[in-house]
Amino acid sequence: MKWVEMSTHNCPVQRALAVVGEKWSLLVLRDAAFGVTRFDDFRRHVGLSEAVLTDRLRKLVAAGVLEQVPYQEPGSRTRHEYRLTRKGWDLWPVLMALRQWGERYEGEPEGPVVHLTHRTCGAAVRVVVECPEEDLALAPSDISASPGPASQRSA
């Protein structure tokens, strides 16, 4: 079966985009990965309205990407911090790949906005698709696609 003959109704990319495909959701996840946890800090740093942020946080919590953790400042009501779950942390390579692409094709002429380096050796980090058996970076031409057990023929 050729790619164009396969149905896309259960495509994992499509399903992932249903959860994190909105611009603001990805920016909230970016900030959460870098340690932002509180509503006001997200609102101020990402720069979106209270209503939109509330909606995105609610959807990300419902999807299991973020979790709410209660906290209380002395003399204040209980509020919630938002922290990445394991499911949320599994989006880290996606965010890094988007950052890498953005720097290459949409970046500032003077260079990167942020340097992300390996703490141990100081080398710049990058996202690659690799073969785990050969520890080898792969190009699209090195990869073949074939129908999996959940594939269906398109109508």
pLDDT tens-digit series, residues 23-62: 899 999 999 999 999 999 999 999 999 999 999 999 999 9
Q: Which pTM value belongs to this model?
A: 0.86
Share the mean pLDDT of the chain. 92
Look at residue 6 and tell me whether its pLDDT is greater than 80.
no
The pLDDT tens digits of the residues spanning 53-94 come to 999 999 999 999 999 999 999 999 999 999 999 999 999 999
- With cut-offs at 50, 70 and 90, classify the pLDDT of residue 135: confident
pLDDT of residue 1: 65
Average pLDDT over residues 13-20: 92
Measured from the Cβ of residue 34, the count of other Cβ atoms closer than 10 Å reads: 10
Question: If you count DSSP H runs as helices and E runs as strands, how many of each does the chain have, helices first?
Answer: 6, 4
Q: What is the dihedral of CA 92, 95, 100, 101, to 10 degrees?
A: 140
- 119, amino acid identity: R
Domains and CATH numbers, the chain: 3-142 (1.10.10.10)
Phi-psi region of 97 (alpha: psi -120 to 50; beta: other; left: phi over 0): alpha
DSSP 141: G
- With cut-offs at 50, 70 and 90, classify the pLDDT of residue 106: very high
* Structural tokens at position 44: 């101020």
Look at residue 155 and tell me whether its pLDDT is greater than 80.
no
* Percentage of residues of the chain with pLDDT beyond 70: 99
